Amino acid sequence: MGESSDSVSIDIDMVPFRGKEFLVKTSRGSLSVFVCGDHEKPALITYPDVALNYMSCFQGLFVCPDAASLLLQNFCIYHIDAPGHELGANVISSDVPLLSVDDLADQVAEVLDFFGCAKTFSYILFPRLKRVLCLGVTAGAYILTLFAMKYKERVLGLILVSPVCKAPAWTEWFYNKVLMNLLYFYGMCGVLKECLLQRYFSKELRYGVHSAESEIIQACLKLLDERQSPNVMRFLQAINKRHDLTDDLKKLRCKTLIFVGESSPFHSESVHMSTKIGRKNCTLVEVKACGSLVTEEHPLAMLVPIEFFLMGFGFHRQPHFATSSSNGSNPSSPSSHSCIAPELLSPEGLGIKLKPIKTRADIEI
């Protein structure tokens, strides 16, 4: 049982996620939050895309030993799932009011209030770290960006993967309406799953012949089968009614790192968002031969930019987490990774000063 009447906790032992799941009651309904890491460390909160949960959206990133060690060494991670998207979720009653994107952002604030994230930092060891870092994918990236706008004092930085910031164009609005009709009449059917795969992954991955690629698709399809269609429809409805954040992007106080796959249907909007945030506070990393879900399709392409980004806040990976490579180089060193050209990722470009660059990660397919 949980430690408070406001939550229920479940112990889970699952590689690469080891921690405890809490069902946190908010004023707008309950949310599943999976917590892993040392509670005394600064908080990193995650929010997945439509129809995904933390396992199907961030597993690829946390399977990577270097990325997992970097993040877990420095943070306690709070994986927030959209309402009704956790494993084993029941169908949300039709009597429960539909939530708006503002409601979803406010829920994030209530989750932080519950865990007391703003109070768990050691101000002696981390005098500047009184706020959280956020990692979100597409719809989840929108929710966390909105959260950062509404609660500026609580957000230290944003790591956004294939984010959106505009109100839906009529083509996206109509396409989402088709998806909602499929969910309503047919549930998580084959056609709907194919549409979602197109949203998440590149054509190269969806129709590739490599076993590693097919395993990603198979794992995603299996997790989609476990989703409750009415719950997915509710989240999609909220995202389809989102409002335009463009005019307020320059008011963001936090540093922002944006990843986007070159084949992502949200590529142009992600580039637009990085431009509107401004050259002072935002860095854009484009990943070749990749769709929207960079965290699953090419997680290694995220490691070096994230490492430099975190260095700007004083976070580092300790040497004992690193292992020696076959050529004797230190894989914990940003310059040793071959997926991104080191000259494009200098500390001046992505680290402390955080000057913006446009980086392309070359991935072999």
**DSSP tag of 360:** E
Q: Is the pLDDT of residue 188 over 80?
A: yes
Of 44-48, 218-222, 329-333, the poorest mean pLDDT is in: 329-333
Q: Mean pLDDT over residues 273-302, rounded?
A: 94
Alpha carbon of residue 258 to chain centroid: 11
Output the pLDDT for position 19: 84
Query: To which residue do tokens 């993040």 refer?
Result: 71
Output the pLDDT for position 340: 42
Helices 101-115 and 139-150: crossing angle, nearest 10°?
A: 70
Nearest alpha-carbon partner for 212 in 352, 364, 315, 346: 364
* CA–CA distance, 29 with 104 (Å, rounded to integer): 10
Q: What angle do CA 33, 36, 41 make, to 5 degrees?
A: 110
Output the pLDDT for position 9: 42
* CA–CA distance, 188 with 206 (Å, rounded to integer): 18
Output the pLDDT for position 50: 97
Is the C-alpha dihedral spanning 161, 167, 172, 177 positive or negative?
positive
Q: What angle do CA 273, 98, 9 make, to 5 degrees?
A: 90
Nearest alpha-carbon partner for 265 in 339, 176, 183: 176
- Domains identified in the chain and CATH numbers: 19-312 (3.40.50.1820)
Q: Is the pLDDT of residue 176 over 90?
A: yes
Report the 3 state secondary structure along 110-162: HHHHHHCHHHCCCCCCCCCCCCEEEEEECHHHHHHHHHHHHCHHHEEEEEEEC
Helices 229-240 and 139-150: crossing angle, nearest 10°?
A: 50
Q: Dihedral (C-alpha) 343, 159, 79, 288: value to the nearest 10 degrees?
A: -60
The answer to whether residues 84 and 231 touch, using CB atoms and an 8 Å cutoff, is yes
Which pLDDT tens digit goes with each residue over 55-107? 999 999 988 888 888 999 999 999 999 999 999 999 999 999 999 999 999 99
* CA–CA distance, 322 with 74 (Å, rounded to integer): 15
Residue type, 250: K
Q: Is the pLDDT of residue 126 over 70?
A: no
Output the pLDDT for position 213: 53
Q: Is the pLDDT of residue 351 over 70?
A: no
Residues contacting 279, CB < 8 A, separation 6+: 355, 356
Q: Mean pLDDT over residues 174-197, rounded?
A: 97
Q: Is the pLDDT of residue 338 over 60?
A: no
Which pLDDT tens digit goes with each residue over 255-285? 999 999 999 999 999 999 999 998 889 999 9
Alpha carbon of residue 43 to chain centroid: 14
Output the pLDDT for position 224: 95
For the record, the structure tokens of 268 come out as: 């142009």
Start-to-end C-alpha separation, the chain: 46
Output the pLDDT for position 68: 87
Confidence of residue 211 (pLDDT cuts 50, 70, 90): low
DSSP string, 2-59: -SSTTEEEEEEE-SS-EEEEEEEEETTEEEEEEEES-TTSPEEEEE--TT--HHHHHH
Residue type, 8: V
Output the pLDDT for position 69: 87
Output the pLDDT for position 210: 54
Percent of residues, the chain, with pLDDT higher than 90: 65
CB count, 10 Å around CB of 116? 10
Confidence of residue 2 (pLDDT cuts 50, 70, 90): very low
* CA–CA distance, 13 with 341 (Å, rounded to integer): 37
pTM: 0.83
Q: Is the pLDDT of residue 30 over 70?
A: yes
Higher pLDDT, 202 or 361: 202
